[in-house]
Amino acid sequence: MSYSAARRKAIRHVACQALPFLLNQAQDSRLILLTHILERIARSAHHKAQLRYLRDLIQDEHPAVELARRVLGLHPKARRAIISNLGINATWLGDQDRKAFAAEHGVYPPFLIVISPTMRCNLRCLGCYAGEYPREQDPLSFDVLDRIVSEGKEMGVYFWTISGGEPFLRPDLLDLYEKHHDCVFLIYTNGTCIGEDTVKRLQACGNTAPAISIEGWEEQTDFRRGKGVYRKAMDTMDALREAGLFFGFSATATRLNADVYLDDSFYDHMVEKGCLFGWFFIFVPVGRNSTADLMVTPAQRDRLRRKVSEIRGRKPLFVADFWNDGCLTGGCMSGGTLYLHVDYRGDLEPCVFMHFAEENILEMYERGGHLWDVLRTPLFRRIRAVNRRDPNPLRPCPIIDHNEWLEAALKGANARPTHEGAEDIVGRLAPEVRAWASEYAKLADYAWYQSGEYAWAQRPGDLLWNHQAAEQGRAEAG
């Protein structure tokens, strides 16, 4: 065994054996001691800074401490996976692996990869971003999915997001999670296909994090997803909580429901149901019957931005908004900067909402290529060149914040739409989206430059993300 392999094994042993024992009583003094131990293990300066920041939160009795205690109360297998797979493999050791890969191959790997292994779904949600894809077949076999994950690990990618479609319509995915027990799999699901046997399998694996999709309360969820869906989703949350699993919610903000998310009672209910995290998505008009009418208003987006930030500081629940929290990731994550998307046919898209591709993983494999080859394609390089051009990270998105940048990137690459009508976002819908972006820019610029809300994110030595991948994109932009 090499020194590097032996060191990794030792780190995992400390993390997975000694730390749970140390934290058994979850006292603040033990949590503080944990941050010192992990700081010794951490290799990079920004990870060490994060741990010092966490130590400050513990000493200030921040709600994040209660969230950590909730994680420590999970089923032992789930708790182990969060510590080992997410904390150690994906983040700390994964960071070193990604740097080593970049040094060897000349391109920096993403932190995570999204796979949509099926577009089959038992629901027909209004405005579904994936609703225009065919739903009759699953071209990506288990063996191909296995190879994708294996190659991802060669790049240092141990965090995988499974989307769709409804992933739980493919039972073989449970075998994938089980085989790659050193990874963590975030699974976006409508929650209606998770029965008792599936819960037992998830508990046995321990390395999954279902995100149950809802639209607010019962009225809003059933309006968009169908009658009875909300109650079924709540029943599934109850089952996952009783099994001690790590899970959360996923919510799309539209013009019709955005104000629901401004009420504390919604977040209190999610905590009661057992959710440990929540992901917010701003509706993007790229899917079924695309229309800009469902987009939140600029004022609604701004209110949601403030609310999500507020909840993180007051509730034992980690919530994030992929459009409003660009300060947590340094801007847009697409194009391989921090993530990429493999769709159900194997088309390699810069983002799950950018339905354009130059390459297909099945065709690349037939030519003797590898997953990481997509990072060098003109489309991905051009997206990385523009997706962090705006110095205001509250306007990170090339689709809805800087639609003209997406159009320019597509024109400069040999990209094709991955379904009929995908080009509407830079065609028929572009005038509405760009007018909307212009109005939101006024609110976002005030929030970032004048309000003082983000002074913590503007100081030197950012705690929250690794600049190396983003700097590569800027260098590629010339």
What does the alpha-carbon distance between residue 97 and residue 103 come to, in Å, rounded to a whole number? 10
- Taking the C-alpha atoms of 401, 402, 404 and 408 in order, what is their torsion angle to the nearest 10 degrees? -130
In the block, residue with structure tokens 């509407």: 424
Q: Is the pLDDT of residue 3 over 50?
A: no
Q: Is the pLDDT of residue 466 over 70?
A: no
Q: Is the pLDDT of residue 119 over 60?
A: yes
Residues sharing a CB contact under 8 Å with residue 449, sequence separation 6 or more, in sequence order: 392
Q: Which two tokens stand for residue 186?
A: 């975030």
Closest by CA to 127, choosing from 353, 259, 279, 291, is 291
Q: Rounded mean pLDDT of 103-122?
A: 94
Q: Rounded mean pLDDT of 285-289?
A: 76
H helix runs in 214-296, sequence order:
218-225, 229-242, 264-273
Q: pLDDT (tens digit, 9 = 90+) per residue, 45-96?
A: 767 877 787 788 777 778 887 888 899 899 999 998 988 899 889 988 898 8
Which pLDDT belongs to residue 59? 79
What does the alpha-carbon distance between residue 414 and residue 358 come to, in Å, rounded to a whole number? 6
Q: Which of the two residues, 19 and 111, has the higher pLDDT score?
A: 111
In the block, residue with structure tokens 């949601």: 304
Which pLDDT belongs to residue 471? 55
Strand partners, 279: 250, 320
Which pLDDT belongs to residue 14? 64
Q: Which of the two residues, 471 and 409, has the higher pLDDT score?
A: 409
Q: pLDDT (tens digit, 9 = 90+) per residue, 426-458?
A: 999 999 999 999 999 999 999 999 999 998 887
Range of weakest confidence among 2-16, 191-205, 291-305, 383-397 = 2-16
Q: Tell whether omega for the bond before 226 is within 30 degrees of 0, i.e. cis.
A: no
Q: Is the pLDDT of residue 98 over 90?
A: yes
Q: How many CB atoms within 10 Å of residue 191?
A: 26
Q: How many CB atoms within 10 Å of residue 424?
A: 17
Q: Rounded mean pLDDT of 10-19?
A: 63
Which pLDDT belongs to residue 262? 98
Domains of the chain, first to last: 73-478 (3.20.20.70)
What does the alpha-carbon distance between residue 185 and residue 316 come to, in Å, rounded to a whole number? 22
Which pLDDT belongs to residue 345? 96
3-state secondary structure string, 386-408? HCCCCCCCCCCCCCCCCHHHHHH
Which pLDDT belongs to residue 473? 45
The DSSP H or E segment spanning 135 is none
Paired sense of beta strands 248-253 and 318-321, if any: unpaired
Buried residues in 141-154 as b, exposed as e (16+ CB within 10 A): eeebbeebbebbbe
Residues sharing a CB contact under 8 Å with residue 253, sequence separation 6 or more, in sequence order: 261, 280, 281, 282, 283, 296, 300, 301, 304
Split at pLDDT 50, 70, 90, the class of 478 is very low
Q: Is the pTM of this model over 0.75?
A: yes
Contact 218, 230 (CB under 8 A): yes
H helix runs in 156-254, sequence order:
172-179, 196-205, 218-225, 229-242
Q: Rounded mean pLDDT of 453-466?
A: 65
Contact 162, 188 (CB under 8 A): yes
What does the alpha-carbon distance between residue 385 and residue 395 come to, in Å, rounded to a whole number? 15
- Taking the C-alpha atoms of 368, 370, 375 and 377 in order, what is their torsion angle to the nearest 10 degrees? 10
Which pLDDT belongs to residue 130? 59
Q: Which of the two residues, 9 and 98, has the higher pLDDT score?
A: 98
Q: Rounded mean pLDDT of 236-264?
A: 97
Q: Is the pLDDT of residue 11 over 80?
A: no
Closest by CA to 298, choosing from 413, 148, 127, 443, is 443
Q: Rounded mean pLDDT of 360-366?
A: 98
Closest by CA to 115, choosing from 74, 73, 44, 164, is 164
Paired sense of beta strands 356-357 and 416-417, if any: antiparallel
Which pLDDT belongs to residue 477? 41
Split at pLDDT 50, 70, 90, the class of 202 is very high
Residues sharing a CB contact under 8 Å with residue 352, sequence separation 6 or more, in sequence order: 114, 116, 129, 130, 163, 341
Q: Is the pLDDT of residue 465 over 60?
A: no
Q: Rounded mean pLDDT of 398-420?
A: 94
Q: Which two tokens stand for residue 444?
A: 């976002």
What does the alpha-carbon distance between residue 227 and residue 180 come to, in Å, rounded to a whole number? 36
Split at pLDDT 50, 70, 90, the class of 1 is very low
H helix runs in 60-166, sequence order:
63-72, 76-81, 94-105, 142-155
Q: Is the pLDDT of residue 278 over 90?
A: yes
Which pLDDT belongs to residue 299? 98
Q: Rounded mean pLDDT of 361-388?
A: 96
Please give the mean pLDDT across all residues of the chain. 89
Which pLDDT belongs to residue 275? 98
Residues sharing a CB contact under 8 Å with residue 1, sequence separation 6 or more, in sequence order: 9
Closest by CA to 186, choosing from 86, 60, 305, 40, is 86
Strand partners, 357: 416
Q: pLDDT (tens digit, 9 = 90+) per residue, 16-39?
A: 566 656 555 556 777 788 788 878
Q: Rounded mean pLDDT of 239-257?
A: 97
Q: Is the pLDDT of residue 331 over 70?
A: yes
Closest by CA to 15, choosing from 92, 97, 88, is 88
Q: What percent of the chain has pLDDT over 70?
A: 87
Contact 186, 162 (CB under 8 A): yes
Mapped onto helix, strand or coil, the DSSP state of residue 214 is strand
Q: Is the pLDDT of residue 189 over 90?
A: yes
Which pLDDT belongs to residue 64? 80
